[in-house]
C-alpha cells in the first residue's frame, strides 16, 4: 500500500507539469474545477465500502459463499446506481458548465469542457462500479490484486499522458478520454 501511495504521488508530481504546459491557463482552470467537483462524489460512499469489506470477510470466514454473493450483488447494484446518478448529473451539468465560469470560455474550450464534463461523469460511473470489485478483493484479503490493477492504470496514464496530451491537440478532451478509459479498464 505504501508503494502504491508513493507511485501515485510520483505520478502526480511528474505529470502535472506536462498537463499544465499542454493546457494553458484556461483549460487547466476548467480541468481543475471539474475534477474538484468529482471530489464531492466521495460523500456518496456513506461508509458502505468499509462495511462491505467487513461483511465479505466475515461471510468468507464462515464459509458462506451465498452471503458473499448476495453482498457483492447488492453492493454492485448500489454502486452502479450511485455511479449512474453521477453520470446523469454530469450529463445534465454538461450543458451548463460553460456558464459557470466567471470569464466566458473560448469556443474550442467551451466545447471541450462540455464533453469533458460528460466523460468525467462516465469516469465516476466506472469508479463506483470498480469500487465494488475492489471491496470484494479486499474482503478476500487480495490487496495485491487491487493494488496491481491500480498500478496498471497509473502506468498506462503515465505513458499515455505525455504522448497524447499535447498543446494544439485538444488536450483537455484527450485527458478526459484517457481518464475515463483507464477508469473503465
Cα–Cα distances (Å) from 104 to 42, 57, 115, in that order, read 29, 52, 17
pLDDT score of 126? 96
Residues in the chain: 185
The answer, yes or no, to whether residue 159 has pLDDT greater than 90, is: yes
The answer, yes or no, to whether residue 79 has pLDDT greater than 90, is: yes
The residue-averaged pLDDT of 84-97 equals 94
Distance CA 185, CA 126 (A): 8
Q: Mean pLDDT lowest for which of 35-39, 61-65, 88-92?
A: 35-39
Contact 49, 61 (CB under 8 A): no
The answer, yes or no, to whether residue 53 has pLDDT greater than 90, is: yes
Query: In which band, very low, low, confident or very high, does the pLDDT at 47 lie, cut at 50, 70 and 90?
Result: confident
Secondary structure string (H, E, C) spanning 2-54 = HHHHHHHHHHHHHHHHHHHHHHHHHHHHHHHHHHHHHHHHHHHHCCHHHHHHH
pLDDT score of 45? 86
Distance CA 82, CA 89 (A): 11
The answer, yes or no, to whether residue 178 has pLDDT greater than 90, is: yes
The answer, yes or no, to whether residue 23 has pLDDT greater than 90, is: yes
pLDDT score of 154? 92
pLDDT score of 168? 83
The residue-averaged pLDDT of 67-86 equals 96
Amino acid at each position: 500500500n505504501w508503494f502504491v501511495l508513493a507511485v501515485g504521488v510520483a505520478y502526480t508530481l511528474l505529470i502535472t507539469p506536462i498537463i499544465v504546459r499542454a493546457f494553458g491557463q484556461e483549460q487547466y482552470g476548467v480541468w481543475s474545477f471539474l475534477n474538484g467537483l468529482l471530489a464531492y462524489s466521495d460523500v456518496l460512499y456513506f461508509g458502505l465500502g468499509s462495511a462491505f469489506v467487513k461483511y465479505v470477510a466475515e461471510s468468507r470466514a464462515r464459509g458462506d459463499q451465498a452471503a458473499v454473493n448476495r453482498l457483492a450483488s447488492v453492493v454492485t447494484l448500489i454502486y452502479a446506481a450511485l455511479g449512474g446518478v453521477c453520470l446523469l448529473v454530469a450529463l445534465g451539468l454538461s450543458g451548463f458548465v460553460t456558464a459557470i465560469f466567471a470569464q466566458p470560455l473560448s469556443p474550442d474550450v467551451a466545447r471541450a469542457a462540455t464533453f469533458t464534463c460528460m466523460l468525467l461523469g462516465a469516469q465516476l460511473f466506472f469508479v463506483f462500479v470498480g469500487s465494488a470489485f475492489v471491496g470484494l478483493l479486499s474482503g478476500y484479503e487480495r490487496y495485491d490484486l487491487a493494488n496491481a490493477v491500480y498500478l496498471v492504470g497509473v502506468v498506462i496514464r503515465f505513458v499515455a499522458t505525455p504522448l497524447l496530451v499535447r498543446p494544439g491537440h485538444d488536450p483537455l478532451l484527450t485527458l478526459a478520454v484517457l481518464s475515463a478509459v483507464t477508469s473503465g479498464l
